[in-house]
């Protein structure tokens, strides 16, 4: 059986792909993503199938299987990858979620709501009208606004793609 990505080595410049993986992973890391998780994520993103085994990821990124495992754990928590068992094998495959960015950013809505709730509780605890409470309440308003806008953007994206 052909491996899903076995033709990639002949169809692409491996060095250019490696540079892309490291560059985009660096940008994701600068934005707050865990470094090894970013590298594994971009390696999956850059594969035609969107799925690779731990061994394939370790070879492509020149990292240890333990580093792959830790990165997959992080990406799973972030709802960016799934772990699948290869049929008839004990090997796991890691797959990007369908509608990857939509799913990932859709999850952010929950965090924004939690931030807003916690900040509003904090503003009450700090005492109405205090400078700290006003600052914290303004932060809560920002997250409420962001959540509202994110929901609207996600709906527009869904409509655009349907």
Per residue in 104-152, pLDDT (tens digit) is 777 777 788 899 999 999 999 999 899 999 999 999 999 999 999 988 9
pLDDT for residue 8 is more than 50:
no
How many whole angstroms separate alpha carbon 100 and alpha carbon 61? 21
pLDDT band at 10 (very low <50, low <70, confident <90, very high): low
pLDDT for residue 3 is more than 70:
no
How many whole angstroms separate alpha carbon 139 and alpha carbon 106? 21
Q: How many CA atoms lie within 13 A of 148 on its CB side?
A: 7
How many whole angstroms separate alpha carbon 47 and alpha carbon 104? 19
How many whole angstroms separate alpha carbon 38 and alpha carbon 80? 11
Q: Considering only the top CATH level, what class is 8-96?
A: mainly alpha
Token pair recorded at residue 44? 């999956």
CA distances for 55 relative to 4, 93, 110, 137, 144, angstroms:
14, 10, 34, 48, 43
pLDDT for residue 6 is more than 60:
no
Q: What is the pLDDT of residue 139?
A: 95
């Amino acid at each position: 059986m052909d491996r899903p990505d076995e033709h990639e080595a002949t169809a692409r410049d491996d060095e250019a792909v490696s540079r892309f993986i490291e560059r985009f992973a660096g940008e994701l890391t600068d934005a707050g993503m865990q470094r090894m998780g970013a590298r594994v994520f971009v390696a999956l993103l850059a594969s035609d199938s969107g799925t690779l085994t731990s061994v394939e990821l370790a070879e492509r990124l020149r990292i240890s299987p333990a580093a792959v495992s830790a990165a997959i754990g992080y990406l799973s928590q972030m709802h960016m990858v799934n772990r699948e068992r290869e049929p008839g094998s004990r090997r796991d495959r890691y797959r990007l979620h369908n509608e990857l960015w939509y799913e990932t950013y859709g999850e952010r809505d929950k965090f924004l709501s939690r931030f807003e709730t916690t900040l509003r509780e904090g503003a009450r605890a700090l005492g109405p009208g205090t400078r700290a409470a006003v600052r914290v309440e303004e932060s809560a308003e920002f997250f409420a606004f962001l959540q509202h806008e994110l929901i609207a953007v996600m709906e527009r994206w869904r409509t655009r793609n349907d």
